Amino acid sequence: MKYAIMSAVRALGLLPAADRIKFVQRRATSARGNSRFLADHPGFVPPPADLAFDAYNAVDWTAYHDGGRLHAEVFAEAILTRAVGQDLRVLEWGCGPGRLIRHMPELLCGRVGTIVGTDYNPATIDWCTHQLPGIVFALNELMPPLPFPDDHFDAAYNFSVFTHLSQEAQLAWAAELRRVLKPGGVLLSTTHGDAYRYLLARSDEQASYDAGRVVIQAQYGEGRKWYFAIHPPFFVRDTLLAGFEQIEQIDVPESAGMKQDLWCARKPLA
């Protein structure tokens, strides 16, 4: 019922207004807990509340820090067990205000040479650049290219980025990530899979998903959190990651709290 109502609100173009109201509510209800968290974590710098809400639909610093750490650990383990060599160059495409990437220097310590984060929000990149030392940040646009040469990174990862793009943009970015990866480089990506069928409020959306087609719920700015893409696994393997090899869906521990599907693929050696 909740997502049937959201579908109607989306169709009426009312999501931005509803989102602004929710931001005020979330900031108020999180204020006391956030104060306690900051008192318990001196030196921790949270992102601006508006950037956090825009990216994560929350302004809860405990969830931002602890949940970000758990998710970062999943990606770090996948990189360390699949990427080859030392002094790795690692890219987070769509880093947002640092929920995962701020943990990566510690989690990848001993194997990583350079960690790079990109995002299409200039305010996010400005905040990350000034608040998260030891990481390189760069701005990208909604569509490729990235400001890096061919065959540059040993590993690239993204959390909930393909999930907010049109099919055209997804395919363009999959090709771009393939370009900037070294031959044999590893790509880690999440998608809205079977666990997100509840987002399919209409029968035509359910039929498309069951037929193996990605379902796009637009009526909101592309790249933003309420612009949804729901990916059947067949589409991911057969279309989204078609330019890669050794495609696998990684089992994520339930303790990580990651409902999205996690995919690993490797750029061909030739």
The 10s digit of each residue's pLDDT in 165-183 is 999 999 999 999 999 999 9
pLDDT at 54: 95
pLDDT at 270: 84
pLDDT at 202: 94
The 10s digit of each residue's pLDDT in 117-140 is 999 999 999 999 999 999 999 999
Question: What predicted TM-score, i.e. pTM, was given to this entire model?
Answer: 0.95
Collect the ranges in the chain with pLDDT lower than 50.
none
* Cβ atoms of residues 198 and 230 within 8 Å: no
